[in-house]
Structure 1
Amino acid sequence: MCSATSLPVLSARQTKDLLPISLLCQALAAAAEEYMAGRIRSPERQVLPLQGEGVLLSMPATAHDIGMHKLVNVCPHNTNHGLPTIHGVVSVYDAANGRPLLILDGPTVTAQRTAAVSMLAIQSLHSRSPQHVALIGSGKQASGHLDALAELFPGIRVDVHGLDLASATEFCRQHAELGLVLQPKAGRIADEVEVVIMLTTSKVPVYNEAARADRLLIGVGAFRPDMAELGPLSIAGSQLFSDDPVGARHEAGDLIQAGIDWSTVSSLADAVAGRFDADRPRLFKSVGTAAWDLAAARCALANYSSSGATDECRG
């Protein structure tokens, strides 16, 4: 409980509990339409230097109901000191009067909304609930996506392709309690896989097979122009979607390096609305935007308020 003068500051665990993937997907679907229509304003993120190659990332967004500001510090050398690489907070405000309402854990918001965007892409662009998914990558993004898959599609088979078979095997062991059929893999993606999700920071393609109408491709990890998880063969044969087509022009290295025609890239809102050809292959590129953090803030605020914990704080 909080007093009238206190501001709730939530831990990573508390933040995650307020962002169940199913509800977050609903919030993202609504926000996607608002963002495309200009009713959510989300400027390009500002990047400022910190010591030791670290950066401070500032990402605000506003809508009719709330404002949100995500501040995240990424410090790559923290691992040498036993500290997380990423720290940060998401502050949530009442749009009518600017009053602060909630402070959420920044890395948790990012992880949850990123995984939820991928799940929304699956729900929108795949013809049915998948029974066989492949993850390429075995880091924190892969963990978040595995949690999301377990929540929405319990019991399905998930092949995990890590740096090597040993790392994939260890990753599967660590997530054995999720209730998924986890299979560590090395080499080529199995023919029967329906959805491939790429979650690496590779600078060379980790997937470059011919596009297939029965296999949805989702690229998440490559977030700079010099990174590329998806190869030109897969890209050239696909209908292209991005959660943020404007931001993708600067950040989606896969698409930039492939020299695509940006006028052919559709939005997440288009995918949610079903504006695509189901008989043609589909590829979804996720780059992220503060608009999705705002959707997550809405979801968290609604769930926090429904618990009764904020009645005194919100007035």
Structure 2
Amino acid sequence: MSIVSPLPVLDAATTQTRLPMAELCREVALAAAELAAGHIHSPERQALPLPEGGTLLSMPASAADIAIHKLVNVCPRNGGQGLATIHGVVSVYDAASGVPQLLLDGPTVTARRTAAVSLLAIQTLLPQPPRHVALVGTGKQARAHAAALAETWPGLRVDIHSRSADSAATVCQQLAHLPLQLTPKVGRIDDGAEVVILLTTSRSPLYNEPARAGRLLIGTGAFRPDMAELGPTSIAGSQLFCDDVPGARHEAGDLIQAGVDWAQVHSLADALAGRFDPAAPKLFKSVGSAAWDLAAARCALAASQQEHRA
């Protein structure tokens, strides 16, 4: 008779505690190298229709040690019922036996690992730690990025940009507990910002200034061909990087609409290996990958095992 242990199910708060940013960044860096070497398998995500304009997204990945499957439901009309728009889970399995190991909160994994990818880009492509970062957007990803920045560089100046002064001010108030110098902003990015991170689902570019050395641009929000946060002027003058180049060919609306030469778009693994011009303006596009969910699962498993031993 086989005895099956209960599957640990982590809610959003517990999932977040299992994903400390420093460890998560290290796991993402390792996963990027494994993905480039073909040791992580991460096919393109599948999208299935749900009623009322919803979408079910399926994102699996496997490696020598574990396999994961993230299922996310995006239901735009949930707001009218007082429900969150996005729900989902990340299931984690032992790769050799297929035995389930853990169930993580999907939206929390996505928010934390997306922020980790952005931080890894900053740590890799910026010559020194940032002193001033501009976040464009006021949604969940903006909050997740602010929290990640606070964990990594406490005391950092962070501007929260929105089309609405009230919205920017509200987010700054909600994040006032973080060790950051928060400033609500509307309009043009301050000249002193060394990093600009765009975190919206805009369908037209929000930033199209000429690229300049010393400022890193990061686009995270536009994940469909009809979306664009970064404009062609900024893109044309930058050395281009992407967390998942094959996925970006179909999903990175900013780059697709700008008609980029994909042979000139470098991977996160290239950046981590130092294959870039330190003096050139740089733009990093993030479209996400199940490989980063797998990295987060490794991080959560290690934290859970450490807690169990304690």
TM-score, with length taken from structure 1: 0.96
2:308 is paired with a residue whose SS is coil
Distance 1:284 1:230 in 2: 10
Alignment-derived partner of residue 5 in structure 1: 5
- Structure-to-structure mapping, 1:199-238, within 5 angstroms: 199-238=199-238
User: Is the CA contact (8 Å cut-off) linking 2:43 and 2:60 kept in structure 1?
Assistant: yes
Counterpart-to-counterpart distance in 2, 1:25 and 1:152: 10
* 1:259 aligned partner: 259
The aligned runs of 1:231-310 (5 Å cut-off) are 231-308=231-308
Alignment correspondent of 1:152? 152
- Tell me the TM-score normalized by structure 2: 0.98
Q: Partner residue of 2:60?
A: 60
Distance 1:86 1:164 in 2: 24
Q: Tell me, what secondary structure is at the counterpart of 2:200?
A: coil
Q: CA deviation at 1:163?
A: 2.2
Distance 1:287 1:105 in 2: 20
Cα RMSD of the aligned pairs, angstroms, is 1.1
Paired residues for 1:19-98 under 5 Å: 19-98=19-98
- Which residue of structure 2 aligns with residue 183 of structure 1? 183
Report if the CA contact (8 A) 2:163-2:187 is conserved: no
Report the CA distance between 1:5 and its aligned residue.
Answer: 2.3
Letter in 2 for 1:60: P
Which whole-Å CA distance do the structure 2 matches of 1:16 and 1:4 have between them?
A: 26
Q: Which amino acid aligns with 1:49?
A: P
Q: Which amino acid aligns with 2:158?
A: V
1:124 aligned onto 2:124: yes
For 1:72 and 1:132, locate their aligned partners in 2 and report how far apart those are by CA, in whole Å.
33
Report deviation, 1:164.
1.5
Q: How many residues align?
A: 308
Structure 1 range deviating more: 267-276 or 23-32: 267-276
AA partner of residue 35 (structure 1): L
Separation of aligned partners in 2, 1:189 and 1:45: 34
Q: Shift of residue 166 of structure 1?
A: 1.4
The corresponding residue for 1:163 is 163
Report the CA distance between 1:50 and its aligned residue.
1.1
Q: What amino acid sits opposite 2:154 in the alignment?
A: P
* Overall identity of the aligned pairs, in %: 66
Does residue 191 of structure 2 align to residue 195 of structure 1? no
Cα distance in 2 between the residues matched to 1:196 and 1:138? 14
The answer to whether the 8 Å contact 2:160/2:183 transfers is yes
By how many angstroms is 1:184 displaced?
0.7
Where do 5+ consecutive residues of structure 1 fail to align?
none
